[in-house]
Amino acid sequence: MSNHPVGRTARRGGPRTPRSAEAKQRQQDILGIAMDTFAARGYNNASLQEIADRAGLTQAGVLHYFRTKAQLLTSVLELRDHSDIEQLGPVRPHGLEFLHHLVDTARRNAEREGIVRLYAVLSAESVTDDHPAQSYFRDRYTGLRAFVADALREAAGLPEDDARVEPAANAVIAVMDGLQVQWLLAPGSVDMAVSTDLVVSSLLSTLAPDRFPVAR
């Protein structure tokens, strides 16, 4: 996950740092429009011209704030991560608390369709050759797998070398991502939080039946 602020202090070659309050607001407006556009069309089908038109700017005006279309995409993804990190709080929870956080995240996602669609569209699109978000999603999945595996291991009281933990972590992530797609297509038929909680509880019962007996 990333929590870099917008501006040149965030990373070398990043977005320009606006000097006035009006320019800062304009940059945030562009980000919001780009988020909606990428979520609706994907990165490859969205054009800078469309984003510029919706923002009431020329393409050169958009590029004044974000040097390239790829940099605009990176900034949109960082904005999405910043939203998640704010929800997480100052200290990352561990063990069972982190697993409960995943269920809470699924519940919150049902109230932010735009962000869920952005993630679903771009994560699928990123597997294509030379996609600018490919490294972002590869790193994100690597980090998330580690977080979930650690949480499962801690909650279940398992040793570091238990070979079941990594596949279980992959399953949790796959379920959450798959539920997002199902929910976007039929929101009234899918409760992401309930399904996520059921899968996490079932995995804990499998990994540590003494600690998490199956409810009868």
Calculate mean pLDDT across residues 56-73.
93
Chain mean position to CA 24: 24
* DSSP reduced 3-state for 209: coil
pLDDT tens digits along 80-104? 777 666 666 667 789 999 999 999 9
What are the tokens at 21? Answer: 């309050």
Q: Do domains 1-69 and 92-207 have the same CATH topology?
A: no
Would you kindly state where each structural domain of the chain is located, as residue ranges?
A: 1-69, 92-207
Calculate mean pLDDT across residues 56-75.
92
CB 39 within 8 A of CB 125: no
Tell me how far apart the alpha carbons of residues 7 and 57 are, in angstroms, rounded to a whole number. 20
Count of residues in the chain: 216
Q: How confident is the model at residue 2 (pLDDT cuts 50, 70, 90)?
A: very low
What global pTM score does this model have?
Answer: 0.80
User: Quick one: fold of 92-207?
Assistant: Tetracycline Repressor; domain 2 (1.10.357)
CATH 1.10.10.60 applies to domain 1-69: yes
What are the tokens at 77? Answer: 């993804």
Per-residue model confidence (pLDDT) at position 87: 63
Whether the pLDDT of residue 7 is over 80: the answer is no
Residue with tokens 């569209």: 121
Whether the pLDDT of residue 185 is over 90: the answer is yes
Per-residue model confidence (pLDDT) at position 18: 72
